[in-house]
Every structure is written in C-alpha cells, then in structure tokens.
Structure 1
Amino acid sequence: MENEVENKKLRILCLHGFRTSGSILEKEIEKWPQPLLQKLDMVFMDGPYLAQGKAALDGIFDPPFYEWFQSDEEYKEFYNFEECLEKIEEFMLTHGPFDGVLGFSQGAMLATTIPGIQREGVALTKVPKVKFVIIASGAKFGTSKFGIPTLASASFSSPITIPSLHIIGATDIIKEEGIGLLESFVDPFVIDHPEGHTIPSLDDKSTEIFYNFISKVQDLS
C-alpha cells in the first residue's frame, strides 16, 4: 500500500495567468525536470472569459487568450468571480477528482482562495476539498494593493493548514505580495528563483524542495 501511494501521480488542476491560456501554462511547465513531471498528472483549464484587452504574450504565443475574472483598474472591485468558481466546479466534476490546484499569477490568486472557500462552504461544495496548493507568482486578495471578492471574504480568516508550495521570483513585480501571502499558510514550502513574473526553470535545489513537498502531500494521503 505504501508503494502504491508513492507511485500514485498527484492529479492537479492548473490555472493559467491573466490573458494567457492552459496550453501556454503547459508549455511553460514543460521545462521542469521530466522525472518530476512524471510524478504529476496535470490538467490545464482555460479561463471562462476571452481576454477583454491586449494580451502581454500576444505575438509570442498564439491566441485565444483567456481571463478568469475581471476587475476595475485599481484592482479593488472584482467581477464574474462567482461565475468563475461555478465554471471551475463544473470542470472539476467533469475531469476530476483533483488532489490539488496549481496557479500562476491571476490563476495563483484564485488558487490561494480555494482552500478557504471550501472550508467556509461558500462555493466548490460539490467537489472534494483540495489537499494542497502550488502558487507561482501569487498574491493575496484583501491587501492594500488588492481588494477581495465577496465569496473570498473569509478565505484567510484563519490559517490555511493544507500543504502549500510557493514559487517566488527575485525580480517579480509582485514579489512582496507573494512573500506576504506566506503568512496565511502553515509551514509553507518556498522555492526562490532569480527570474521575474514567470514560470521558472527549476535548479537542483528547487527540484529537491519540490520533491520534499510531494513527499509531504503523499504522506498525508
């Protein structure tokens, strides 16, 4: 039984960044070491809304590009957040069950709220609770920089106890927000890398941290 747990791939729902797509995130993650990727069963979802403005990666990757939800220019008011969660739940019901969630950028902000949203029972109630989160270039709703959607208002009312892995870039435009997010998680794993707002390559040290995170998740299964 122990070997079965160790050999079982972790099934992960992957949420892409703002105005990108699931296929773009998949291409970015493909640069991670193959032995690591072989331990992960990653499923890439597209956001429910077509990009409502120019995508930063237009000309680098092919469209279409998607958004998970929208906001005002100050990032204080959010729109279509509840509808986004409904679409994610539908996807999870169809393609799951999922062990955990990985998010990058806008997808990471969304992923950080899911454990608390499920704990509070305000959404994603038809699917099993996620057992872990992986946050790349993430930030927290409800800070001086970002408002918070109504459904997520209690997501960080108590520490999030499931395992979490945070990937933080030294030159990321939201590095400080990513560091501040760590306070909301109990015993977070952290991978620091020298790049910016991107999915980084993983060196030997980062890969080891990732393997240790996987071992912790599997020990709790």
Structure 2
Amino acid sequence: MGLETGAEQKPQRKLRLLGLHGFRTNGAILRHQLSKWGPALNDLFEVDCLDAPLPCSGKSEVESLFEGPYYEWYRFNKDYTEFYHVDEKLFSYITDHMKLHGPYDGLIGFSQGAALSGCLAALQEKGLALQDVPPIRLLVLMAPAQLRAPHLKHIYEGPTIKCPTLAFLGDKDWLRYAGVEVLKSFENNVTICHRSGHTVPRLDDAQTATAAQFLTSQLAAIEASNVAPKSEVEVPEVAFKGIDMAEEAELLTTNVITESHNEEISVAA
C-alpha cells in the first residue's frame, strides 16, 4: 500500500449559469452555440438553457439550421417604440424556474437573451424583481443591448449596475453600437471584441484565456464570499470598467481582445 500524500483535494466546482437564448430560437440552440467554445471554457461552467415562455410569433431566421419549436422572451413593434410582455409575468416565469432548479451563480445570454439578462441583474440590484432568489453574481452577455421598453428606461440611468460582466461585441454586428452604449451602465465589465457579426463567436487562444480568467476569478470570489465575512472578501479587478465611445478605438487595440475567425451563423436579436 502506498504512502498517503495528504487529504484528497476537493474538486473545483463549476459555475452554474442560467442560459437565456436569442430571439425566435430556443434553449437547445443556445447550448449548441456555446459548444463552439470548447472544453477550455465549457469545463468551467454548466448551463441550464431555459426556453422562453412565448411561442415564436413570426418566421425564425434559423429554421434551415436548427429544429424548432422556437420561442421569444418578449415582443415589440417594428420601430422598437413599444414592447410587450416585459412584465411581472415574465419575471415570475424566470424566478419560478430559478427557485425550482437553482441556485444559479449567474446568467448567460445571447442577443434578446443578453438584453434580458442585463435587465434582470439591474432590476434585482434595484429591488424591483428576482427578490426571492439568490443574487445574480455574474453575467456573460453575447451581443448585448439595452432592453428599450420605455417603462424600464430608468434602470439603466443609475446607479450603475455592479454585477461583474463578461461581454462579447462583434465588429460586424448590427447591434454593436447598442452593445457599446448599454455597457456604459455596467460598472464592472470585461469586453472581448471579435470580427464576426451577430453571433456567439469562436474564440482564439488569447480570447479564451481572457474569458477563462474572468470565469475562474468570479468563481473564486463567490466561493470566498461563502466562507468569509462580506468585509473580508476581495473582489477581483477586471480588465477595465465599461466602454466610453471616445476611447473605443484605443480599446480595440489595447484592453480588448479581437477575434480572427470568419463570421459565424448570425441570429437576429
């Protein structure tokens, strides 16, 4: 019998994330989109991809690529001045799922799901929704934008959203400017820019390392907060906080990692 070398080390747990898919897609499609990141990132988290409550009200742009049924989180008119179903019923739908299947460490969303994820974090911090579930400790937002429902405009105006956020912005994404704008409302964000369009991008080695560092540091902070008094927990610093439009060009060549792969399949927000 060999000599004991010490107590077995407890395996590192994964982050638990609730996944919110894009417009007129579904949870299984989001899971497929995330698979392109590979084990270097996917081994750091497990994701529960929830289907939105509303059946698809029009043609899905992914019908030729993925099987339905397709869903949407909310609806809007053609000029984005009126929004429908962004209400207590939607928030309760998500809260009830989190109560039943959680706890979750954070949210991961693409496009419409990213807009909703950021909105939910803001609402929770301001005491307006998700008060019956644990705090959202991190966000992963791919092609984010402000959820522009008029009755929610105030949640982006201050104070800033403190939830640590990893964001992905595409150089060719029609929502890029909206993503830059909404991230001004997030106090602590790490942003990775890629050269693709409206998609969950493939990541090169440098981008993967940046994303992995964010995820592991957030897990460490969560674990530390579970065993130490709040005043003793050190919050890891992020690469930078927010994006200022005047500084964006400089960020693209300094703090922000760029992506060199060809454009992937686009999915409308």
* TM-score, shorter chain, exceeding 0.5: yes
Matches of 1:156 and 1:148 in 2, distance apart?
14
Which residue does 1:140 correspond to in 2?
146
Tell me the C-alpha RMSD between the 2 structures. Answer: 1.6
CA contact (8 A) 1:33 1:202 kept: no
Matches of 1:177 and 1:140 in 2, distance apart?
7
Which residue does 2:167 correspond to in 1?
166
**1:67 maps to which of 65, 72, 76:** 72
What is the DSSP-based 3-state SS (H/G/I as helix, E as strand, rest coil) of the residue aligned with 1:31? Answer: helix
Amino acid at match of 2:188: D
Matches of 1:190 and 1:51 in 2, distance apart?
31
What is the DSSP-based 3-state SS (H/G/I as helix, E as strand, rest coil) of the residue aligned with 2:123? Answer: helix
Which residue does 1:175 correspond to in 2?
176
CA contact (8 A) 1:22 1:44 kept: yes
Matches of 1:186 and 1:161 in 2, distance apart?
5
Which residue does 2:131 correspond to in 1?
125
Which residue does 2:193 correspond to in 1?
192
* 1:155 Cα deviation after fit: 4.6
CA contact (8 A) 1:132 1:217 kept: yes
Which residue does 2:51 correspond to in 1?
46
* 1:187 Cα deviation after fit: 3.2
Matches of 1:133 and 1:38 in 2, distance apart?
17
Look at both structures and tell me which one has the larger radius of gyration over its CA atoms: 2
Identify which range, 74-83 or 57-66, moves more after superposition. Answer: 74-83
Identify which range, 180-189 or 205-214, moves more after superposition. Answer: 180-189
**Residues 95-119 of structure 1, C-alpha deviation per residue, up to 9 Å, x if partnerless?**
1110000110000110111121012
What does residue range 1-221 of structure 1 map to in structure 2 within 5 Å?
7-82=12-87, 83-141=89-147, 147-150=148-151, 153-221=154-222
What is the percent sequence identity of the aligned residues? 34
CA contact (8 A) 1:76 1:148 kept: yes
Matches of 1:200 and 1:73 in 2, distance apart?
27
CA contact (8 A) 2:40 2:208 kept: no
Which 4+ stretches in 1 moved above 3 angstroms? none
Structure 2, gaps ≥5 residues long = 1-8, 223-269
TM-score by length of 1: 0.91
Matches of 1:58 and 1:187 in 2, distance apart?
36
Q: Report the count of equivalent residues.
A: 213
Matches of 1:171 and 1:151 in 2, distance apart?
28
Identify which range, 80-89 or 20-29, moves more after superposition. Answer: 80-89
CA contact (8 A) 1:115 1:155 kept: no
* 1:206 Cα deviation after fit: 0.9
* 1:185 Cα deviation after fit: 1.3
